[in-house]
Amino acid sequence: MNTKQTGDETEARILAALIADGYSVSVPFGDNDKYDLVVDTGTELLRVQCKTGWIEGDVVRFKTTSKTTADGETTMESYDGSIDAFAVRCKETDELYWVPIEDTGKKSTYLRLTEPEIDHPSVNRADTYRFEVRLP
């Protein structure tokens, strides 16, 4: 499976889970927006970027920048101001996570699967970002 197919599968699984949870979800036309979905919570519309995460040691890691190529030049762009949250599917476990943009790092975000050695505000515990816990 290539990266486009993997991304499409992630987006489809996230879309299905949101609809199953009773949310109204819109899909923007084309691939020109920084967000993949618009989720209607009943009180607000949230712009959501879908990402595929992977297990790296004892964390689920996902990229928090957009990589594009134009005229042979590759650029990395932040999602700041363009989205409200990341919806992440871990490809190894198929677990879904909802991560508000303000809880993410500049290039990647790591969701810890195991209990950390120290309790620190910068540690993102994966279980606190699971869909059933974090969805608005």
Q: What is the dihedral of CA 21, 101, 57, 112, to 10 degrees?
A: -70
Overall average pLDDT of the 2-9 stretch: 89
In the chain the domains, ranked by start, together with CATH numbers, are 3-134 (3.40.1350.10)
Does 94 have pLDDT greater than 90?
A: yes
Note the pLDDT of residue 122: 67
Is the Cα torsion angle 104, 19, 68, 4 positive or negative in sign?
Answer: positive
What pLDDT digit, counting tens, does each position of 13-32 carry? 999 999 999 999 999 998 78
The model's pTM is: 0.90
Task: Work out the mean pLDDT of the chain and round it to a whole number.
Answer: 91
Overall average pLDDT of the 57-70 stretch: 88
Does 70 have pLDDT greater than 80?
A: no
- What does the alpha-carbon distance between residue 27 and residue 7 come to, in Å, rounded to a whole number? 14
Does 130 have pLDDT greater than 80?
A: yes
Note the pLDDT of residue 44: 96
Q: Are 122 and 112 in contact (CB under 8 A)?
A: no
- What does the alpha-carbon distance between residue 136 and residue 23 come to, in Å, rounded to a whole number? 10
Q: How many CA atoms lie within 13 A of 9 on its CB side?
A: 13
- What does the alpha-carbon distance between residue 84 and residue 76 come to, in Å, rounded to a whole number? 19
Query: Which residue matches tokens 């699984």?
Result: 13
Helical H segments across 1-136, by residue range = 3-20, 131-134
Overall average pLDDT of the 48-73 stretch: 90
Does 52 have pLDDT greater than 80?
A: yes
Note the pLDDT of residue 69: 76
